[in-house]
A = this chain, B = another copy of it.
Amino acid sequence: MSEAEQYDATIYERPSVTVDVVILTLINEALHVLLLQRRHWPYAGQWAIPGGFVGIDESLEDAAQRELQEETGIQAVYLEQLYTFGSPQRDPRTRVISVAYFALVRADRHQPSTSDEATAVRWFPIDQLPEPLAFDHRVIVQAAVNRLRSKLEYTTLAFQLLPEEFTLAELYETYGQLFGDRRRGDDGAAGEWAGLDKRNFYRKITDAGILHDTGRFREGRGRPAKLYTFRPETQSGEFVFRWREARAG
């Protein structure tokens, strides 16, 4: 903005501004999104990400936090502005510009509940989204997943998704699911993730010095696995995951 005319701009027709939030979590080491089934027009009955209008005196981040709170009852999570979607035709009612955020939460803690705006609320695996989604929400969800994937490579964001305590196998499985395209079943049985060598992964992650060995174990079938926590003091550190691997044939 730069104009005197802006001062008179109140007479112009203004778009509406909403904030929509892509809420991501990990369930059984697989990435899921929270969707609401819309009760009302437009797109009644279709699934959508939660969102709502920005209050006239409310910051965008506050609005996103409020939506998150209303839908999931969570506050302390990772929240980041994603992108602003503003095609003139993206909402059939009127011009609506949507500032999209994405949030990472730990799903174990809480189950979402339906509201008067939604007939249902559910976690969907990101590779099994209902078809179609309301508005341009498919694009928004895809953008969030892309952003998350790329950030996982050079941040410790993955630990925002995992439970407080985890085993190396769970961590490995998580990275595998988030990056790996598919398993290779050498003999039919489930093996390692294509292109992600377990030993190299363990070495890299432990050498990085970002894990704390709790001294406790997760019991189950087979040999008990060490439980680790993430050392948040290293969060700003130099850890880079970087997914490459695959040299020979």
Interface size bracket, A side: 35 or more
A83 and B86 contact, Cβ closer than 8 Å, known pairs A1-B52, A17-B17, A53-B12: no
A54 within 8 A of B: yes
A135 and B53 contact, Cβ closer than 8 Å, known pairs A17-B14, A84-B84: no
User: Residue among A16, A36, A50 with the most chain B CB within 10 A?
Assistant: A16
Q: Which residues between 24 and 60 of chain A lie within 8 Å of chain B, taking CB atoms?
A: 36, 38-41, 48-54, 56-60
| Partner pick for A4 among B3, B39, B59, B86, CB 8 A cutoff | B39
**B3:A117 contact, CB within 8 angstroms:** yes
A10 within 8 A of B: yes
| Partner pick for A41 among B7, B53, B87, B117, CB 8 A cutoff | B7
Q: Which residues between 46 and 80 of chain A lie within 8 Å of chain B, taking CB atoms?
A: 48-54, 56-60
**A38:B2 contact, CB within 8 angstroms:** yes
User: A4 contacts which chain B residues (CB < 8 A)?
Assistant: 39-41, 117
A96 within 8 A of B: yes
**A84:B60 contact, CB within 8 angstroms:** yes
A227 within 8 A of B: no
The answer for the CA separation of A18 and B13 in the assembled complex, in Å, is 13
User: Residue among A1, A56, A91 with the most chain B CB within 10 A?
Assistant: A1
The answer for the CA separation of A233 and B162 in the assembled complex, in Å, is 40
Q: A interface, by DSSP: helix, strand, loop or mixed?
A: loop
**A2:B118 contact, CB within 8 angstroms:** yes
**B18:A1 contact, CB within 8 angstroms:** yes
Q: Which residues between 95 and 126 of chain A lie within 8 Å of chain B, taking CB atoms?
A: 95-99, 117-118
The answer for the CA separation of A87 and B17 in the assembled complex, in Å, is 13
A9 within 8 A of B: yes
**Nearest chain B CB to A73's CB is how many angstroms away?**
17
| Partner pick for A88 among B13, B15, B38, B57, CB 8 A cutoff | B57
User: A167 contacts which chain B residues (CB < 8 A)?
Assistant: none
Instruction: Return the chain B residue nearest A97 by Cβ.
Output: B17
The answer for the CA separation of A39 and B7 in the assembled complex, in Å, is 13
Add 10 more A-B contacts to A1-B135, A59-B87 (CB < 8 A). A1-B51, A1-B91, A2-B118, A6-B93, A7-B93, A13-B56, A14-B56, A54-B86, A56-B88, A81-B84
